[in-house]
Amino acid sequence: MSIIYMLLAISVIVAIIFFIAFVVSVKKGQYDDVYTPSVRMLFDDELVKPDAKENQPLNKVKSN
Amino acid sequence: MESCFHCGEDCQEELINFDEKSFCCSGCKTVYEILNSNDLSYYYDLQSSPGTSPKLSEGKFSYLDNSEIAEKLLEFDHEGTQIASFTIPSIHCSSCIWILENLGRLHKGVKSSQVDFPRKKIRISFSSEELSLKELVVMLARIGYEPNISLENYEEKETSVDRSLIYKLGVAGFAFGNIMFLSFPEYFEMNEFWLEKFKHLFRWLMFAFSLPVVFYSGKDYFISAFKGLRSGLLNIDVPIALGITVLFLRSTAEIVLDLGTGFFDSLSGLVFFLLLGKFFQQKTYSFLSFERDYKSYFPIAVTRISMENGQTKEEQVQVFNIKKGDHIIIRNEELIPMDAILIKGDASIDYSFVTGEAQPVSKKMGDKVFAGGRQQGGIIELEALRSVQQSYLTELWSDEVFSKDKNSQFHNLTNQISRRFTYAVLGIAILAAIFWMFYDSSKAWNVFTAVLIIACPCAIALAAPFTLGNMLRIFGRNHLYLKDANIIEKMAQVDTVVFDKTGTITANDNGSIEYEGLELTEDEKQLLGGSLRASNHPLSRSLYKILDRNNISTPESFKEHTGKGLETSYKELNLKIGSHAFVANSQNTNTEARAQVNPQKTSVFISCNDQYKGCFSFHNSYREGLSDLLNELSENKQLIILSGDNDGEKDRLKKILPKDTKMYFDQKPGNKLQFIKDLQEKNRKVMMVGDGLNDAGALAQSDVGIVISEDINVFSPACDGILDARRFSELGKFFRLSEKSISIIRISFLLSLCYNVVGLGFAVSGNLMPVVAAILMPLSSISIVAFTTLATQFVSKKSSKNEIRS
């Protein structure tokens, strides 16, 4: 049954690690702006567009 | 009508076709060209017509060449890398984020840029060798994202964000979860071997987890309770602090003496829920500022001219460095930063924001001009009479009302009730203890502490934060942005509403224009249109906007007499447009025209071939629904109009307003402040509704100061709330909702008292088990949160439904 000591120690340590991670992320300002990153991640698609245009000019459908 | 491909506005004044797309002005077209040629047209794919039409006046940012000023604006400057942060009011959509974060493709000097959308801020890191700060700002302005740089930026100090509440909440939540986990086995009290063996370890672990909860997360309650007691006030934090203390001490005693598990779970849960309530109430609109003074309205620098060796020298100087006697230059649309005397040029100064006067004022050489006015027209030269801080307008901010904390004098509903509550709880605890002392003295201590524990007013303390926090969000969705949740409680108590006139109950657009006199012929109308188009005078601009613009004849001769009027001709027609003196002067005395002269009214007179025709009179146009709103409010509130303008509109106002409305005109900013103070001394709860800098004192003095704003992104003076001008007519609805919120809080109090009675039943009879406390406390808190949330949603839904029906 003494395994429970180890399990307890591990669970408390894991919990404290997560807690420290939370405090650090707050301190770094990760939660100061929670909106912009959600928009920003959608932009990544566009970055390939200029290359695609140059490589396959024939496939380019006339844009509006 | 076609709408602009760039900004989405209707192409009203002109229509430019370019690249198979239509644009409303050349500014928008230029932005499109810039973006398109730099392969940034994805901007338009992301969101249709995302742009803002650029308004860049020549030389506006030349002060950034002054290295002393530029240095102040930079956050970081080292080895060729500079970092600057700007507020850009026109950030409004995902396209804006994209384009601003891809500035590097527009100019290779930009290394990186990051947008903070909620705050409408951008942080740009750039190479100082390839790009100067001024070039960067001009580049932003050219694509329609003009940064807002004001005197405030110059003085800005490092603001540290207070995140302590999040930490406290995190600690409490962390401990709460773990303690619940550890106390679970003992809830069921099964006499198993392993439980007996490990329970001491579990209990001491819980004790360890509860230490940071009591001494870190809960420390504000102790501080606040102590402060309250010292000033003889039993605020809600007193019973809370008492509850926390008793919980902790009794639980510790229990595990030390091996009597039981203690109440660590309830303790941490209590603190966690209380902090959650605080956190919820703390809704902030990060893109708005409620603390602004004249500094965020005033420019950072002006052009000073000085004579040096017989040559005039122009230089950009920080406004605080302007001394009495210095000569400065103000261009079109620039702000006059200090009281001064006009030396050269013709000034037409728009004081609407500062004094409440609706129309621009013309000034001649030698006239005194006051700080805060905006020049409209050509370049003028001024001689400073006072420094910025000592000017007529800015002196208002030295009044003590601006350094006072309004909230400290306010006793909210929760604190009112906590007084009686605390006495009652202490009474019951002592009575119960005395009873048990005689009946079974071993239990007396137990019962005494149990009463204090179970009566800890967690649910009462949560009722107001959740109700008001919810309401705050509902108000925000309806475009009334409040500084904090307490304002709603204050709003419910308001019995006097004071309105400013210009910009508050009148709309900021051109107003309505009325023509009196002989009817104009078609030819005359056409020439009038053409003449007005050529003139830059603000009155001409507003008159031009209402005329039919399809048939316009360009005048053959055009002469503008500044300060007087226009003289134009086309074929045989000869028009004179302008002031009464100018138009009537050239002809024999005209009785008809003289009859129409009303010094209080703004009018433009017209004569054709020296024959008097008539005059256009400008009226304020009042906001839609004003009359209905005021009639509704006058049912239970005293209404007052407090205007900085003259009483020219008095008769018109009388027709619109409810009968018992009082009106005061020609009020200076200081008068307004004093007026509110006098009302408050008569025990009135005053709401001030204003818009300009001249209302700043009154807004700060009043119990609730609301600013009406056409565009919530532009400057508004310090206040308690900002209301979108389009929602002005709904002010009555906000009053109703705030009153409803108070009823909801009262009902929640009753509800939580019921829980307390049940809990006290357990406590007084001496059977308070930890598991009962652990169930009862979260249950009461959660049900109060659920009740207030549902009730506020219901109330707001109902009121918006009524709106549609009526």
> Per residue in B690-732, pLDDT tens?
887 778 888 888 889 898 887 766 667 778 888 888 888 888 8
Structural domain harbouring A26: 3-59
pLDDT of residue A57: 41
pLDDT band at residue B56 using 50, 70 and 90 as cut-offs? low
pLDDT of residue B168: 92
Residue in B closest to A46 by C-alpha = B42
Burial class of residue A63, CB neighbours in 10 A (0-12, 13-18, 19+): exposed
Residue in A closest to B208 by C-alpha = A12
For testing contact with chain A, the best of B20, B116, B117 (most A CBs within 10 A): B117
User: Any idea which of B190-199, B400-409, B463-472 has the lowest mean pLDDT?
Assistant: B400-409
**Interhelix angle B731-764/B413-439, nearest 10 degrees:** 10
Residue in B closest to A33 by C-alpha = B116
The residues spanned by each domain of chain B are 1-53, 62-149, 164-282+414-466+740-799, 299-387, 475-508+622-739, 512-619
CA distance B336 to B329: 9
Compute φ and ψ for B784, nearest 5 degrees: -65, -45
For chain A, what is the domain count?
1
CA distance B270 to B458: 7
Subunit contact A33:B119, Cβ cutoff 8 A? yes
* Mean pLDDT within B231-260: 87
Residue B204 host element (H or E): helix B193-212
Residue B602 host element (H or E): strand B602-608
Instruction: Spell out the CATH class of B299-387.
Output: mainly beta
Is B778's pLDDT higher than 90? no
Q: Give the up-direction half-sphere exposure of residue B309: CA atoms within 13 A in the CB hemisphere.
A: 0
Is B340's pLDDT higher than 70? yes
With tokens 């005689």, the residue in question is: B438
pLDDT of residue B209: 92
Query: Which among B161, B170, B174 has the least Cβ separation from residue A32?
Result: B161
CATH number of B475-508+622-739: 3.40.50.1000
pLDDT band at residue B208 using 50, 70 and 90 as cut-offs? very high
CA distance B453 to B439: 22
Is B397's pLDDT higher than 80? no
CA distance B710 to B156: 26
Residue in A closest to B171 by C-alpha = A19
Structure token pair of residue B116: 């903070």
Which 149-188 residues of chain B touch chain A by CB within 8 A? 161, 163, 166-167, 170-171, 174, 177-178
Burial class of residue B472, CB neighbours in 10 A (0-12, 13-18, 19+): buried
Biggest CA–CA distance in chain A, Å, is: 73
Average pLDDT, chain B: 80
B201: contact with A, CB 8 A cutoff: yes
Higher model confidence: residue B189 or residue A42?
A42
Going by C-alpha positions, the residue among B338, B333, B299 that lies closest to residue B318 is B299
Residue in A closest to B91 by C-alpha = A36
Subunit contact A23:B97, Cβ cutoff 8 A? no
Query: Cβ of B696: how many Cβ atoms within 10 Å?
Result: 30
- Dihedral, CA atoms, B384, B334, B391, B483, nearest 10 degrees? -160
Give the number of A-B residue pairs with CB atoms closer than 8 Å. Answer: 56
Q: For residue range B508-561, what is the model confidence (pLDDT) as tens digits?
A: 665 677 777 777 777 787 788 878 777 766 677 677 777 766 667 777 787 777
Subunit contact B98:A46, Cβ cutoff 8 A? yes
Which residues in chain B touch residue A23, judged by CB atoms under 8 angstroms apart? 167, 170
Structure token pair of residue B644: 């900085």
Inside any domain, residue A64: no
User: Any idea which of B22-36, B90-104, B143-157, B320-334 has the lowest mean pLDDT?
Assistant: B143-157
Is B136's pLDDT higher than 50? yes
Q: For residue range B252-306, what is the model confidence (pLDDT) as tens digits?
A: 998 898 887 888 888 998 899 889 888 888 776 766 777 777 777 777 778 888 8
pLDDT of residue B624: 79
pLDDT of residue B510: 53
Is A36's pLDDT higher than 70? yes
Subunit contact A8:B116, Cβ cutoff 8 A? no
Inside any domain, residue A26: yes
A6: contact with B, CB 8 A cutoff: no
Subunit contact B163:A1, Cβ cutoff 8 A? no
CA distance B609 to B292: 53
What residues does B261 pair with on adjacent strands? none
Pick the CATH number of B512-619 from 2.60.40.420, 3.40.50.300, 3.40.50.2300, 3.40.1110.10: 3.40.1110.10
β-pairing verdict for B311-318 and B301-308: antiparallel
* Mean pLDDT within B137-145: 84
Which 11-50 residues of chain A touch chain B by CB within 8 A? 12, 15, 19, 22-23, 26-27, 29, 31-36, 39-40, 42-43, 46, 49-50
pLDDT of residue B174: 92
pLDDT band at residue B65 using 50, 70 and 90 as cut-offs? confident
pLDDT band at residue A55 using 50, 70 and 90 as cut-offs? very low
Cα–Cα distances in Å, from B194 out to B176, B185, B309, B544? Answer: 24, 10, 98, 91
Integer distance in angstroms from the first to the last C-alpha of chain B?
32
Inside any domain, residue A47: yes
What residues does B575 pair with on adjacent strands? B568, B608
- Helix, strand or coil for residue B536? coil
Long-range contacts of B107-115 (CB under 8 A, 24+ apart): B107/B131, B107/B135, B107/B136, B107/B139, B109/B135, B109/B136, B110/B136, B111/B81, B114/A36, B115/A36, B115/B91
pLDDT of residue A54: 43
Percent composition of chain A: helix, strand, coil (DSSP 3-state, to 5): 75, 0, 25
The CA distance from A42 to the nearest CA of chain B, in Å, is 10
Going by C-alpha positions, the residue among B336, B290, B321 that lies closest to residue B486 is B290
Subunit contact B170:A26, Cβ cutoff 8 A? yes
pLDDT of residue A59: 40
pTM of the entire predicted model: 0.78
Subunit contact B116:A33, Cβ cutoff 8 A? yes
Query: Cβ of B781: how many Cβ atoms within 10 Å?
Result: 25
Cα B512 to the center of its chain, rounded Å: 28
Subunit contact A4:B198, Cβ cutoff 8 A? yes
CA distance B349 to B358: 11
pLDDT of residue B597: 59
The CA distance from A23 to the nearest CA of chain B, in Å, is 7
The CA distance from B143 to the nearest CA of chain A, in Å, is 20
Is B347's pLDDT higher than 50? yes
- Helix, strand or coil for residue B767? coil
Residues B62-149, CATH architecture: 2-Layer Sandwich (3.30)
Which residues in chain A touch residue B39, judged by CB atoms under 8 angstroms apart? 50
pLDDT of residue B159: 60
Subunit contact B170:A23, Cβ cutoff 8 A? yes
Going by C-alpha positions, the residue among B433, B372, B426, B415 that lies closest to residue B397 is B372
Secondary structure of B209-244 in HEC code, one letter for each residue: HHHHHHHHHCHHHHHHHHHHHHCCCCCCHHHHHHHH
Residue in B closest to A36 by C-alpha = B117
Which residues in chain B touch residue A33, judged by CB atoms under 8 angstroms apart? 116-119
pLDDT band at residue B193 using 50, 70 and 90 as cut-offs? low
Cα–Cα distances in Å, from B621 out to A4, B476, B504, B511? Answer: 78, 27, 11, 4
Q: For residue range B740-761, what is the model confidence (pLDDT) as tens digits?
A: 999 999 999 888 888 888 888 8
Cα–Cα distances in Å, from B345 out to B330, B379, B701? Answer: 10, 6, 39
Instruction: Kindly provide the ipTM of the predicted complex, given to two decimals.
Output: 0.73
Which residues in chain B touch residue A19, judged by CB atoms under 8 angstroms apart? 170-171, 174
Query: Which among B42, B98, B194 has the least Cβ separation from residue A1?
Result: B194
Determine if residue B340 is left, alpha or beta; phi over 0 gives left, psi from -120 to 50 gives alpha, anything else beta. beta
* Mean pLDDT within B669-683: 87
pLDDT of residue B335: 81
Query: Which among B117, B177, B197 has the least Cβ separation from residue A39?
Result: B117
The CA distance from A33 to the nearest CA of chain B, in Å, is 6
For testing contact with chain A, the best of B116, B199, B204, B211 (most A CBs within 10 A): B116
Inside any domain, residue A51: yes
Residue in A closest to B99 by C-alpha = A43
Which percentage of chain B shows pLDDT scores above 90? Answer: 7
pLDDT of residue B442: 77
pLDDT of residue B223: 92
For testing contact with chain B, the best of A41, A42, A43, A62 (most B CBs within 10 A): A43
Q: For residue range B464-496, what is the model confidence (pLDDT) as tens digits?
A: 888 988 898 889 888 888 888 888 988 988 889
- Asked if residues B23 and B11 have their Cβ atoms less than 8 Å apart, the reply is yes
Subunit contact A33:B97, Cβ cutoff 8 A? no
Cα–Cα distances in Å, from B604 out to B83, B357, B590? Answer: 51, 17, 15
Which residues in chain B touch residue A22, judged by CB atoms under 8 angstroms apart? 170, 174
Compute φ and ψ for B325, nearest 5 degrees: 95, -15
Cα B174 to the center of its chain, rounded Å: 35
Please name the residue ranges forming H helices in B682-769. 696-701, 731-764
Which residues in chain B touch residue A49, judged by CB atoms under 8 angstroms apart? 42
Cα B748 to the center of its chain, rounded Å: 30
For testing contact with chain A, the best of B5, B42, B272 (most A CBs within 10 A): B42
Inside any domain, residue A31: yes
Residue in B closest to A34 by C-alpha = B118
Query: Cβ of B712: how many Cβ atoms within 10 Å?
Result: 17
Subunit contact B194:A8, Cβ cutoff 8 A? no
A62: contact with B, CB 8 A cutoff: no
pLDDT band at residue B53 using 50, 70 and 90 as cut-offs? confident
- Helix, strand or coil for residue B503? helix
pLDDT band at residue A61 using 50, 70 and 90 as cut-offs? very low
DSSP letter (8 states) at residue A63: P
pLDDT of residue B216: 92
CA distance B757 to B751: 10
